[in-house]
Structure 1
């Protein structure tokens, strides 16, 4: 008998694929969505009915709901929803095309929102569950050249923070995962860049583009270890609201939050001075 049932989007590669492999190998059941149905043929052959597959492009918002509904109907219950599908879009905001912007936000923001909203009625009906949203350190810290990627990640983190408070009374817990650079195909496979404008060549945004293209700079994060911690987080009660993975992620987030808090505290007197007097 399987231990838990997991629903994972973007399971064809990267964290999603590694997570499916680790979960299936320990006896869990996995419902995996992917854009190319043959990407998990080897796992399907090995694990049979313990691996449920569905084709899904996260930009197809109407299909997101139908796939989620079908998974719950056919599997009976799902313990953990993992919103993993996504990709990076890089380049200065001015360099990106309107089509790139729309596709990035549809994949990284609108799709995950639809996924979580579609799962909530089922999780409430079964008495609870866990939602894990894969984000990045870029959900709390920013770098030039990543404006639209950050827009999606900051947006989904704000959404998840609020939803976590809304659904806590129903036994539904939420964890936002914020990994740093990991040796998956994210950077040299799925990441996309906008058309280069000469004006940005020698700016910080231009340097980010060059760093992305430098294949000699390998990420320091071990994706297999990261996935182990993500899986283990589903057994923690209460659920960690955020799970920071990687020394680079920790340092970037700590610096960003410290700088932001320092700037806010410096404005305390001004902030309080704009209140109406008591009793007015």
Structure 2
């Protein structure tokens, strides 16, 4: 069921991009937001506009103890969140052979373990309240996978794996779980926030086919707000409005697909998986399992 008005949101990675858009949408809806950021001076303009309805708190989601301490403090001083949005994350590009141990661990620490630590920290408070929503910001890359994005895809597949189990575990306690599978949005994800592995020449030809160059692009000065007329990425506000739509549904789905071409990408990924399974002569695809498109 839709949760009550005057809700309290807890949004990680809220300083810019999607996280900021989620915070803004919640504030415009009349709700209160605890926005976690990496720098204390982030979101100054929103704080000026919305006053004490926006509460900024510094947080590194990879620090489990810090996450638990902050969530407990928010519950004690502000209230138990109604909506928790695990948004903090970044993209890592590199062929599997190119990824260093440090890069792989850092990617999982933020994209997967960060969401896990926040989820674990909020659950005791949500169970006591007997209600709440946990929104995991996922990707169409959690349904399929693409060359050079394997480690990023892996974090989102892992996020979805535990969240599907989580949804079943916490449903008896009145808690909903949702996976927001997003397509392309005009954020720093494919820009200044993107990280690249060191190139291995064995993959130059493949890289040329993906990035139109044998080397990874330099996105250090990329600005998502200055895209050209042909850009296909949508503004983050579209994702935020789609999330608000999801939260108002009486019987919301576990997975919610949003973004330019996102439904088509999910459909193609699922069709490719089906076709691969059917190469096994002993495997029979479930009869009558026609897919229906989720509105987002």
Structure 1 length-normalised TM: 0.90
Which one of the candidate residues 241, 256, 261 is aligned to 2:269?
256
Deviation at 1:157, TM superposition (A): 0.6
1:58 matched residue in structure 2: 61
The residue correspondences of 1:156-167 to structure 2 (distance < 5 A) are 156-167=159-170
Kept in 2: contact 1:5–1:77 (CA 8 A): yes
SS state at 2:89 partner: coil
SS in 2 for 1:116: helix
Aligned residue runs from structure 1 range 86-165, under 5 A? 86-165=89-168
SS of 1:39's equivalent?
Answer: coil
Cα pair 2:184 2:260 within 8 Å, conserved = no
2:33 match: secondary structure = strand
Per-residue displacement from partner, 1:212-264 (whole Å, max 9, x unpaired)?
Answer: 73877734323212210112211222222111112422122111111212333
Find the aligned partners of 1:22 and 1:231 in 2 and give their Cα distance: 8
Aligned pairs for 1:183-198 (under 5 A) are 183-198=186-201
Q: Report what 2:178 is aligned to.
A: 175
When the two chains are superposed, the root-mean-square deviation of aligned CA atoms in Å is 2.0
Q: Deviations over 1:46-74 (max 9, x none)?
A: 22221112111122222111111111111
Assess if the C-alpha contact under 8 Å between 1:3 and 1:27 holds in 2: yes
Secondary structure of 1:109's match? helix
Aligned-residue offset at 1:210:
4.5
Quick check: 136-145 or 58-67, which moved more?
58-67
- Which stretches in structure 2 are left out of the alignment for 5+ residues? 223-227, 285-296
After TM superposition, give the deviation of residue 207 of structure 1 in Å.
3.6
2: CA distance, partners of 1:136 / 1:146 = 12
Give the corresponding residue for 1:3.
Answer: 6
Question: Contact between 1:145 and 1:209, CA under 8 Å: does it hold in 2?
Answer: no
Q: 1:229 to 1:150 in 2, by over 3 A?
A: same
Q: How many residues are paired up?
A: 269
Q: 2:227 aligned with 1:225, yes or no?
A: no
Normalising by structure 2, we get a TM-score of 0.85
CA distance in 2, matches of 1:133, 1:103: 19
Identify unmatched segments of 5+ residues in structure 1. Answer: 272-280
Deviations 1:87-126 (A, max 9, x none): 0000101112211111100000111011111111110000
Alignment of 1:19-98 (within 5 A): 19-98=22-101
* Kept after mapping to 2: 8 A contact 1:91/1:209: no
Whole-angstrom distance in 2 between the partners of 1:72 and 1:219: 40
Q: Could you say which residue in structure 2 is the equivalent of 1:245?
A: 258
In structure 2, relative to structure 1, the CA distance for the partners of 1:239 and 1:268 (3 Å cut) is farther
Offset at 1:266?
4.7
Tell me, in whole angstroms, the C-alpha distance in 2 between the residues paired with 1:219 and 1:189.
18
More deviation, 216-225/188-197? 216-225
